Amino acid sequence: MDRWLQDIKVIVFDLDGTLYQDYRFLGRYVYKMLVNTHSKEEIEQYIEYAYRFLEGSQQVKLGFFYDQNFTFYEHDYLKPTNAYDWQGNKQEIKEVNGDLTYVGDPWSIATFIGRKEKISSETMKQAFLEVRSEMLHSDEYISKNEKLADTLRGLKQYKVLMTNTIEPSGKEFVDYLLLDDCFDEYHYDGKKPLGIQKIIKGLFNKGYKGEEILSIGDNPFNELHPVKQVGGHTCFISPYEIADNTEWSKRVHTIDDLDEFLSLFNNNKVFEKMEVSQ
């Protein structure tokens, strides 16, 4: 058992892809963005591309960055190494100018497709909100996990929930997933990764140390790297692999895995054995 668990006093949680997992939405999201501007065949091709991207069955995959010209970059600890076009053909790597966008989860895959196809921000936002509504109110609804909610309530650590989703939708998901009384702080429209840096600063001001903070999420750039950089601990959750060679404190794949991991914090006998073995 990792002894660092005993030091954790704060746990920062992501929401989407972390406290529930559902990937059926990706195809619907792409469809809704493209339905008024693209042919059926083009839409099907992009949906297939999106799932190959997610599953890592093509050269360009989760964990890559891309620039404003939609050139993708592999990286070594966030420093670009190899370059590819969006279809995975290797390119000569040049000096990287401008901001890079990290593709760390299925939502950001859809965002890339929308940007590449010059879909308006209004259309993309409407598609986003429609898909999220379907996830709660239609046959495509996501599953609640009461066991995870109970485990979260039992945690004695200071608990922070931060999501990049705006409050109306983010709050609906929190309520639907029975998480409305599980955290000490709730942050919507978090603007991660910058937002999580502000959270860390606030925790430092409260007297917490880097090694006392654990961040849990499915998007390493948004949720894990900022905490790791200040000496904190990290838990990466995803059923998919990601092109990021960073070593995380803990790796889990499913919600059940996460619940089992978090249950360690509520198991006094585990910590007593750890103390005795020191």
Query: Is the same domain home to 263 and 207?
Result: yes
* Number of independent structural domains in the chain: 2
How distant, in Å, are the alpha carbons of 112, 121, 216 from that of 118? 10, 9, 33
Q: Give the pLDDT confidence of 70-94 residue by residue, as tens digits.
A: 999 999 888 889 999 999 999 998 8
Burial level of 5, CB count in 10 A (0-12/13-18/19+)? Answer: middle
Give the separation between CA 86 and CA 70, rounded to whole angstroms.
Answer: 6
pLDDT given for residue 276 in this prediction: 40
How many residues appear in the chain? 278
Q: Name the pTM for this structure.
A: 0.93
Q: How sure is the predictor about 278, in pLDDT bands with cuts at 50, 70 and 90?
A: very low
Compute the mean pLDDT over every residue in the chain, rounded to the nearest whole number.
93
Domain end position, chosen among 116, 137, 158: 137
Q: Give the pLDDT confidence of 157-176 residue by residue, as tens digits.
A: 999 999 999 988 999 999 99
Q: Give the pLDDT confidence of 18-51 residue by residue, as tens digits.
A: 999 999 999 999 999 999 999 999 999 999 999 9
Angle of helix 25-34 relative to helix 40-55, nearest 10 degrees, comes to 140
Query: Is the same domain home to 265 and 170?
Result: yes
Query: Is the same domain home to 8 and 38?
Result: no
Q: What is the residue range of 162's domain?
A: 3-22+144-277
The better pLDDT of the pair 263, 268 is held by 263
Query: Is the same domain home to 91 and 182?
Result: no
Query: Is the same domain home to 18 and 148?
Result: yes
pLDDT given for residue 69 in this prediction: 92
Query: Is the same domain home to 38 and 132?
Result: yes
Domain end position, chosen among 84, 106, 137: 137
Query: Is the same domain home to 15 and 31?
Result: no
pLDDT given for residue 77 in this prediction: 80
